[in-house]
Structure 1
């Protein structure tokens, strides 16, 4: 008789203990430890110059703060092509899902001009870039948007430039 009551009591304690522990664990992760923000996105213009696919992450378990990006872009038309690889550091200021982004980086370029069958040109280079803009990044997973001013500089030139991106944050 005592054995079924003891087994029932142990099962009840285990079940309710797990529920309480899970609730406390969720509370701790919500208040003390935040999930590191990561985003994949397609960018038009910006440091990738044309259209590029990118990955962005924070360097700590935070939604804001210091992070980095890397991407790759390619476009070809009329025998000409350009490949770009933008890399950079950025810092997000804000709370919730709205942030101001400031960043700096470099974009590697490789271009090929094969328009003329007798004369063709190929080359590569590096442009510096800055980023000042707005970022919509959900607290949990979901749609993200970036937009802002992304000037390019190098080889004695300063090019005012803008960029927009749409992607998924997780």
Structure 2
């Protein structure tokens, strides 16, 4: 957590010497397996300025239902893309709202209580996002945490489209 804080403070206080890739603001939609959405999520990502890299944000939703049990996740993150020519290192910090509903039937494989919580999420990864749009790909390490737990080795993989 300290490393992420230092990195984000450095990005805010020292606008990295790497060039911002001017052009239309990058926007992406993608499906993600694991990652900040925990199981599976559909996401939208955008840059805050007319650039392909730099500061941006993502928001998504995930839902899974089986045996009268369900889980809903809503991940949101602020992120920064460092790199050029469609190949970026991504760093992000955010939160995921998690809501579970369950049937308390021991015959079910999945058994959830009716509960909701919010967990913290981080992203450190590679993003391929073409400058002129098209197929995008992301692979990331996504530590997750709350007030009593920290899971440093959680991963995410996504595929989508950049426009």
Common fold by TM > 0.5? yes
Structure ID, larger Rg: 1
Q: CA shift at 1:116, angstroms?
A: 1.8
**Is there any run of 5+ residues in structure 1 with no aligned partner, and where?**
1-31
**Is there any run of 5+ residues in structure 2 with no aligned partner, and where?**
1-20
Over the aligned positions, Cα root-mean-square deviation in angstroms equals 1.7
In the alignment, which residue of structure 1 is the partner of 2:142?
150
Higher helix share: 1
The secondary structure found in structure 2 opposite 1:114 is coil
The secondary structure found in structure 2 opposite 1:47 is helix
Structure 1 residues 114 and 62: alpha-carbon distance in aligned structure 2, compared to 1, 3 A threshold: same
The answer to whether the aligner puts 1:107 opposite 2:100 as a matched pair is no
In the alignment, which residue of structure 2 is the partner of 1:124?
116
In the alignment, which residue of structure 2 is the partner of 1:94?
83
Structure 1 residues 33 and 133: alpha-carbon distance in aligned structure 2, compared to 1, 3 A threshold: closer
Runs of 4+ in 1 over 2 A off after TM superposition: none
The secondary structure found in structure 2 opposite 1:62 is coil
TM-score (norm 1): 0.77
The secondary structure found in structure 2 opposite 1:139 is coil
The answer to whether the aligner puts 1:34 opposite 2:30 as a matched pair is no
Whether the aligned pair in 2 keeps the contact of 1:87 and 1:105 (CA below 8 Å) is: yes
Superposition pairs of residues 6-45 of structure 1, within 5 angstroms: 33-45=22-34
| Alignment length (residue pairs) | 138
